[in-house]
Structure 1
Amino acid sequence: MNRAEVARLRAATPGCASVIHFNHAGASLPSQATLDAVLAQLQREALGGPMEAADQTIQARARTAAATLLNAVPEAMAFASSGSAAWGMAFNALGPWQSGDRILIGRHEWGGNLACIARAVGAGAQLEVIPCDESGAVSVTALEQMIDPKVKLIALTWLPANGGLINPAEAIGALARQHGIPYFIDAGQALGQLPCDVEALNCDVLKGAGRKFLRGPRGTALLYIRPEFMQRLQPTQLDVLSAPWDGESFALRSDARRFETSEVSVALLAGLANALEECNGLGLANIRQRIDSLSQGLRERLTRIPGLTLHNLGPTDQQSGLIAFTLKGWDSAWLKQRLARRGINIGANSVAYTPLDMQARGLESIARIAVSYLNTEEEIELLLSSLRKLADNGGV
């Protein structure tokens, strides 16, 4: 991805002209075309009636683009209002949980997923954390030693929210498939940042939010269900879309839309369809190369700032565009606010986001820089300059 292409993409993104945005892991900046798609659908609804303007081709476009992104079939794709909602629906459909059932997770599991798992634990299931290897990633070797017939689920947060770690999702998937164990992947930070092939990952369920590196609207998320695994999942909530009347009874759909409802924001799906098509057009290999180049250089330069400590895990040459750090004398949330006053957006995570990992490392909070292909070297220099000045002020 050369400078001319980056300049073109930035020119097509209104937010790039008004803010320096390094919070793409929270929510990225949408393109003008994505905004136009949302607004055009809202206009059609306002002028012709919301129900009458519910064009089915928009949903078909979004589903096809989502399937293309993941190397899946459209029938395996469902949409939800958030990644956490998508994961929770799939998890709750996997039960009922019984005493002695074992659930194996990485230490870096997303807090929202842990909240869902807590109900299974309340029903008698055992939650067990897979040990990490020397780099801090989930250990595939340790996982293999933990597997027995009582393991009913392996769950992995592929790219944790609190740093640059990229967990070995493919290797874990191969092990899960070998033993016939359901495998859920939280790809919230991966989609739109890394190539994602559900066939290579060997996952049964995968979810991700539209608002992050995919640059789609808030309130959208993707849920992939492996077609051969579909019948294992019995959704806890049904309506006339997910279980339509067949003349004699309400029959559960055979595709992933068994997790959808008849009420949906077509405007948001119009924006998501455009964002997904833009991402597919750019190519994930190109996106990954650009993000990797920018983030590796930024990490190295951050280490030169006095009082700044990086908190990333994983091999230094194989990390994502998420950079976790703390700055001596500064609360992470307050640091985020001070940078925002300078027109620079970053993130700040508390323990609740990744509680097991944060507690294991003795971290109360971290500041987070999330790099996108939209960012430039000039923006990185402004970010570094601001952090140097704040470091010199010592929290003042």
Structure 2
Amino acid sequence: MNIEEVERQRTATPGCARIIHFNHAGSSLPSQATLDAIVEQLQREALGGPMEAADLQIQQRARTAAARLLNAEPESIAFASSGSAAWSQAFNALGPWQAGERILVGRHEWAGNLACIAEAVKAGARLEVIPCDAHGAVDPQALAQMIDRNVRLIALTWLPANGGLINPAAQIGQVAQRHGIAYFIDAGQALGQLPCDVQTLHCDVLKGAGRKYLRGPRGTALLYVRPGFMQRLLPMQRDVLSAPWDGQRFTLREDARRFETSEVSLALLAGLANALEEHNRLGAQAIRRRIEQMSRALRQRLRDIRGLALHDLGREHQQSGLIAFTLEGWNCVALKQALATRGINIGANGVAYTPLDMQARGIESIARISLSYLNTEAEIDVLLAHLSELAAQPQISISTHNP
């Protein structure tokens, strides 16, 4: 992606003129076209009636663009209000858990997913952590040694929220496919940042939020369900869309919309459709190359700041655009707030977000820079200058919980 294209994208994104944004892993900046799509649908509903302004083409556009993003069929895509909601719906649709059944997860699993799994553990299922390799990634060979007939689910957070690790999702999928075990991928930080082909990943379920690297509106998420796996999932939530009356009985749909309801925000889906189409036009490979190039250079420059420690896992030069660090003398939330007062957005995560990994590494919290193709070298220079200045200030400590 050349600098001219980056400038075009920045010009089309009003937030770029007002803020230096390095929190794309939390929520990225939408384009003006995405904002316009949302407002235009709201205006149609306000002027013509919300029900009367319902446009099925909006949903079809979003579904088609999402399918292209994932190399899937539109019928395998459902929409949800958040990535966590999508994952929990799919997990709960697996049905009741029996004593002795095993759930294997990476050490970096998202806490929201672990909260769902905790209910299965109460029923007698066993949660087990797959060992990591020397670089801190989930080890496919170690996973293969753990497989037996009691393993019912393998769950992987592809790109953890607390750093730059990229887990080997496709290799994990090969193990799951070889043994016929259900495989769920949390792709919340991957969608919009890495190329994502569900055929290559060999996953049965994959989810991701629209608000992160896809630059869609908050309150939107994608859920992919492999067609051959669909019949194994019986959603607990049903209505006239997901389980329509056929004249004799209520029957679950055959496609992924068995996870949707008839009540949906078409305005948000209009925005998501536009964001997905913008992403697809730019191309996942071009986006990945730019983010990888910038994050590699930024990691190197961060090492020159006195008192700053990087906390990323994974092979060097094969990491994501999420950069985890701490700054000596600074509480991570206080650091985030200090930068915000200077017009710079970053993130800050605590143990509650990725508890298994943070506890294993003895880390209480991290500050997080998350780069997008929208970011520029000039913005990076400003960020580094302010971090260097703050590193030289006296210790600041506040008692603030992680947001």
TM superposition score normalised by structure 1:
1.00
Give 2:134's aligned residue. Answer: 134
Residues in 2 aligned to 1:19 and 1:303: alpha-carbon distance in whole angstroms: 25
Tell me, in whole angstroms, the C-alpha distance in 2 between the residues paired with 1:351 and 1:250. Answer: 43
Deviation, 1:317, is: 1.2
- Deviation of 1:346 after TM superposition, in Å, equals 0.1
**CA distances 1:73-94 after superposition (whole Å, capped 9, x unpaired):** 0000000000000000000001
Cα pair 1:328 1:394 within 8 Å, conserved: no
Q: Gapped runs of 5+ residues in structure 1?
A: none
Q: 1:394 deviation in Å?
A: 3.4
SS at match of 1:389: helix
CA RMSD of aligned residues (A): 0.5
Which residue in 2 is equivalent to 1:78?
78
**Structure 1 counterpart of 2:331:** 331
What is residue 43 of structure 2 aligned with on the other side? 43
2:231 is equivalent to residue 231 of structure 1: yes
* Aligned equivalents of 2:345, 2:261: Cα separation in 1: 35
Separation in structure 1 between the aligned mates of residue 324 and residue 52 of structure 2, nearest angstrom = 47
Distance in 1, Cα, partners of 2:143 & 2:347: 32
Q: Secondary structure at the match of 1:278?
A: helix
Provide the C-alpha distance between the structure 2 equivalents of 1:109 and 1:54, rounded to a whole number of angstroms.
38
Regions of 4+ moved over 2 Å: none
Match of 1:26 in 2: 26
Give me the whole-angstrom Cα distance separating, in 2, the residues matched to 1:99 and 1:215: 42
Task: For residue 301 of structure 2, give the secondary structure of its aligned residue in structure 1.
Answer: helix
SS in 1 for 2:90: helix
Quick one: which amino acid aligns to residue 370 of structure 2? A
SS at match of 1:37: helix
CA shift digits 1:182-236 (9 cap, x unpaired) = 0000000000000000000000000000000000000000000000000000001
Letter in 1 for 2:152: K
SS of equivalent residue, structure 2 residue 392: helix
Q: Which amino acid is the alignment partner of residue 102 of structure 1?
A: R
Partner of 1:278: 278
Aligned to 1:267: 267
Structure 2: distance between partners of 1:283 and 1:395: 44
What is the match of residue 287 of structure 1? 287
Q: Partner amino acid for 1:349? A: N
Q: Distance in 2 between matches of 1:395 and 1:263?
A: 50
Q: Which residues of 2 match residues 231-250 of structure 1 at below 5 A?
A: 231-250=231-250
Aligned to 1:373: 373
In 1: Cα distance, 2:395 partner to 2:165 partner: 28
Equivalents in 2 of 1:3, 1:280: separation in Å?
Answer: 18
2:122 paired residue number: 122
Per-residue CA distance 1:37-72 (angstroms, 9 max, x = gap): 000000000000011111000000000000000000
CA contact (8 A) 1:136 1:314 kept: yes
Q: Distance in 1 between the 2:384 and 2:333 partners? A: 18
Distance 2:70 2:27 in 1: 20
Task: Please state whether the residue corresponding to 1:352 is helix, strand or coil.
Answer: coil
Question: Partners of 1:355 and 1:46 in 2: how far apart?
Answer: 45
Residue identity over aligned pairs, in percent, reads 75
**Corresponding residue number in structure 2 for 1:102:** 102
Structure 1 residue 95 displacement after superposition: 2.0
Aligned twin of 2:149: 149
Q: Which residue of 2 aligns with 1:358?
A: 358
Which runs of 5 or more structure 2 residues have no equivalent in the other structure?
A: 397-403
Opposite residue 180 of structure 1, the aligned amino acid is G
SS in 2 for 1:393: coil
